[in-house]
Structure formats: structure tokens, C-alpha cells
């Protein structure tokens, strides 16, 4: 038997690589001669950098960048095993988790640090970048990112705009002649699972601004500023990003990446499936085991286990899911190629207990799965 183990992280407890290791250990308690392939997975959100570095034998690079409110923060990005591909999470430099709730300031928060990560990747010779853009503290349309790369965003007096989306209302000219040539040579793929446009009632400011501290009055001002920004981008860069699905992701960073770097937006888990070579691994296995911290009906929409199941379905492979928590509505996942679902929690326990002992519970549950496999083998012989 050949088992492919391809889990996402168990948030707060285990990285995807650690989860795969413990699942394998539990299986080998019972099936010590089974062939096991381990591929850490992700869905483009938090943990993607670590998972892809682990899956490809890459490395982490840590640098100091500008945080969302202008103060320095330490941020990491990954260089994958090919030495040519960088993977970045914008939240590492411009994320909401980097500031307190009292500090949230969507009018002045900047993506400048995200641009610094992109520039650092380019200067290390990377020719491709995969960037996850969830969890932002910003609403600047990627303007700060562009400025970090060398673009100039000028007001009517020819002065550089200060950080923050609110100041885009005064944007008069965009000059991209100063963008670093190494950055221009990179291809950029954006892991984006939302379809919001840049502006309007379903745009960046209206939908996500309140989560970042925007009052109703701020939402109106920010939406108007981004609308004006879209007009100037169309005029000066000849790119219409206003209504592109995903342009409003991460406070409009999706639009900025498309406008300044010709980025392509794709579903996060699809990008990871391609990078880790899941299709090739799937062809040679008999059974797939995936998992993550919790599964529910929403897991079917872009989460790593569902992405694994979609690939498995192409090759007619059965899929088992191990999860810290299993919601009542998770039964619907059976219709999406997740054939059996097991919870790690065997008794009432606190979240803290589940997280602290995640490795043990994961191994124990994997062992029980292996015992079921043995029973299945015995039944098939009788």
C-alpha cells in the first residue's frame, strides 16, 4: 500500500510538515511496511510560506521592513527549493495582526513593507513570486507597495503622496519609470480567494474596511479615494482594474499588484497544488490522508483538504480527513470527495488542551485509521 499524506497546518498546534510527520508515525504503528509520501499543503492563507518551504526543501529569509503604521517589523518570506521562486504572505509585513485593535487606522496604513519583501525577493534572484494577500491592515490599493518598488505617486504639486489610502484622493500622476528592473522581470501570481472589486458596495473599503477600524464616514472617503486611484491607473498605466474580481482583496492590494506588476490572481489552493506537484504524487498512491485544524461545510470552498480531494477525484483515489474539530455540517463534505472524516478529540476538552497535545492526538487517530485499513484488508480476503 502507498499512502499520500497531504495535510494543511493545525493552527496554533502543528505546521503542515509536522502534521504530516505525526500522521505517518501513527500509521506506522500498525502498518510498518507501508510506503508513505508526505506533502505539506496550504490554501494560500496563513502558513503558506512555511508549508511551501517545507514541501520543496527551500529556505526562509528574514528582513526588517516597514510595518502597516510605519514602524519597523521583522518579516520573513520563503525561497523555494528551485531557488527561483519566492513565496510571500503580505500579512507578514502589512497584516492586521501586527497592530492592536486600538491602533487600527485604515486611512493611513500602508503596504510599503509588502513592497519591500517583493524587492528583497527580486534582489535575491527570484524570477517568480507567489504572494498570499489575506489578513491585511491596509486599504491603500497597494499604493505603498508600489512606492517601495520605485513607483512615484504624485499630487498636483509634484510631491510624493504620504502613506495611506486616504491620500489617494489627491493623486494626480503615477510615474513607474523608477520601478526596479529586477522587479519588472519577475512574474507574480496572487493567491486570492475573494472576488470583490476595488470599489463600490462590494468593494474593498465597504466590505473589509470596518474590520480594519473604518467608521461609516471613513468607508465613504476611502471608497472615493480608491475610485479616483482607479481612474488615474487607467489613464497613466492603461489598465482597468476597477471591477476585476479580486481587485478589492487586501484593501485593494489585488488591484495594485495587477496594475504595477501585471500579476495574475488565482485560487490559493490551486497555486499550492501546482507548486508542490500534487498531481504527480497522486498518480502513484492508493489512499490519501489530509487534514487541518477544523473542518465544516465551508471547507469545500477553497480550503486545502478540498483542493487535495479535487486532485484525488481525478485519479479515483479515496480521501480520509483528520481534523481537530468536525462541525455538524461537515457531513456535506462527503459529496466533495472527502470520503471519511475523523476528529482528533475523543473526550470533552478545552481548545488549549487540544492544541497543546495535538501531536499525540493526531498520531493516535492516524493509528486508528490504520487499524481500520487492516480490517478492510482482512475483509477483502475473506
- Ranges of the chain with pLDDT below 50: none
In this structure, are 316 and 179 located in the same domain?
no
User: Domain range spanning residue 298?
Assistant: 2-39+277-381
Closest CA to 251 of 44, 109, 47, 148: 109
In this structure, are 87 and 193 located in the same domain?
yes
In this structure, are 29 and 52 located in the same domain?
no
Task: Produce one character per residue of 211-246: b if its CB has 16 or more CB atoms within 10 Å, e if not.
Answer: ebbbeeebbebbbebbbbbbebbeebeebebbebeb
Query: 13: domain CATH number?
Result: 3.40.50.10350
| Number of domains making up the chain | 2
In this structure, are 224 and 200 located in the same domain?
yes
In this structure, are 6 and 23 located in the same domain?
yes
| pLDDT of amino acid 381 | 87
| pLDDT of amino acid 108 | 97
DSSP line for 229-241: HHHHHHHHH----
Domain-terminating residue out of 233, 268, 303: 268
In this structure, are 121 and 156 located in the same domain?
yes
Q: What is the per-residue pLDDT across 310-339, written as a single tens digit (0 to 9) for each?
A: 999 999 999 999 999 999 999 999 999 999
Domain-terminating residue out of 217, 242, 268: 268
Query: 203: domain CATH number?
Result: 3.90.1510.10
In this structure, are 6 and 54 located in the same domain?
no
The CA-to-CA distance between both ends of the chain, in Å, stands at 19
| pLDDT of amino acid 362 | 97
| pLDDT of amino acid 194 | 87
In this structure, are 203 and 341 located in the same domain?
no
* Cα 15 from Cα 12, distance rounded (Å): 8
Contacts for 112 with CB less than 8 Å, ≥ 6 apart? 65, 66, 70, 94, 144, 145, 147, 148, 163
In this structure, are 189 and 255 located in the same domain?
yes
In this structure, are 17 and 146 located in the same domain?
no
In this structure, are 34 and 58 located in the same domain?
no
Cell numbers given for 323 = 481534523
| pLDDT of amino acid 77 | 97
Which own/partner contact pairs does 353-356 have at CB distance under 8 Å and 24+ positions apart? 354/13, 354/324, 354/325, 355/10, 355/12, 355/13, 355/324, 356/13
In this structure, are 28 and 108 located in the same domain?
no
Domain-terminating residue out of 245, 268, 291: 268
Closest CA to 80 of 98, 104, 55, 103: 55
Amino acid at each position: 500500500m502507498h499512502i499520500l499524506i497531504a495535510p494543511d497546518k493545525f493552527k496554533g498546534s502543528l505546521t503542515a510538515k509536522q502534521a504530516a510527520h505525526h500522521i505517518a508515525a501513527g500509521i506506522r504503528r500498525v502498518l510498518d511496511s507501508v510506503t508513505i509520501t508526505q506533502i505539506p499543503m496550504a490554501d494560500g492563507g496563513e502558513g503558506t510560506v512555511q508549508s511551501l518551504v517545507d514541501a520543496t526543501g527551500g529556505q526562509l529569509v528574514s528582513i526588517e521592513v516597514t510595518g502597516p503604521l510605519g514602524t519597523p517589523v521583522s518579516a520573513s518570506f520563503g525561497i523555494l527549493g528551485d531557488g527561483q521562486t519566492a513565496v510571500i504572505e503580505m500579512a507578514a509585513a502589512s497584516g492586521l495582526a501586527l497592530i492592536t485593535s486600538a491602533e487600527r487606522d485604515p486611512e493611513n496604513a500602508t503596504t510599503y513593507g509588502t513592497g519591500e519583501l517583493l524587492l528583497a525577493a527580486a534582489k535575491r534572484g527570484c524570477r517568480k513570486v507567489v504572494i498570499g494577500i489575506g489578513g491585511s491592515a491596509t486599504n491603500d490599493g497597494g499604493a505603498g507597495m508600489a512606492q517601495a518598488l520605485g513607483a512615484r505617486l504624485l499630487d498636483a504639486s509634484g510631491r510624493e503622496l504620504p502613506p495611506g489610502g486616504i491620500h489617494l484622493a489627491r493623486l494626480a500622476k503615477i510615474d513607474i519609470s523608477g520601478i526596479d528592473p529586477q522587479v519588472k522581470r519577475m512574474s507574480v501570481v496572487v493567491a486570492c480567494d475573494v472576488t470583490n472589486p476595488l470599489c463600490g458596495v462590494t468593494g474593498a473599503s465597504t466590505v473589509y474596511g470596518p474590520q480594519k477600524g473604518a467608521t461609516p464616514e471613513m468607508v465613504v472617503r476611502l471608497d472615493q479615494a480608491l475610485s479616483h486611484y482607479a481612474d488615474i491607473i487607467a489613464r497613466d498605466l492603461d489598465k482597468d482594474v476597477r471591477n476585476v474580481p479580486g481587485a478589492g482583496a487586501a484593501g485593494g492590494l489585488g488591484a495594485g499588484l495587477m496594475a504595477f506588476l501585471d500579476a495574475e490572481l488565482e485560487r490559493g489552493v490551486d497555486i499550492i497544488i501546482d507548486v508542490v506537484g500534487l498531481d504527480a504524487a497522486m498518480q502513484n498512491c492508493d489512499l490519501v490522508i489530509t487534514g487541518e485544524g477544523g473542518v465544516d461545510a465551508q471547507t469545500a470552498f477553497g480550503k486545502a483538504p478540498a483542493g487535495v480531494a479535487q486532485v484525488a477525484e481525478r485519479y479515483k483515489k479515496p480521501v480520509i480527513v483528520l481534523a481537530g474539530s468536525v462541525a455538524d455540517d461537515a457531513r456535506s463534505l462527503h459529496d466533495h470527495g472527502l470520503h471519511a472524516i475523523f476528529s482528533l478529540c475523543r473526550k470533552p476538552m478545552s481548545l488549549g488542551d487540544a492544541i497543546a497535545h495535538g501531536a499525540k492526538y493526531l498520531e493516535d487517530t492516524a493509528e486508528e485509521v490504520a487499524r481500520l485499513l487492516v480490517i478492510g484488508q482482512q475483509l477483502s480476503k475473506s
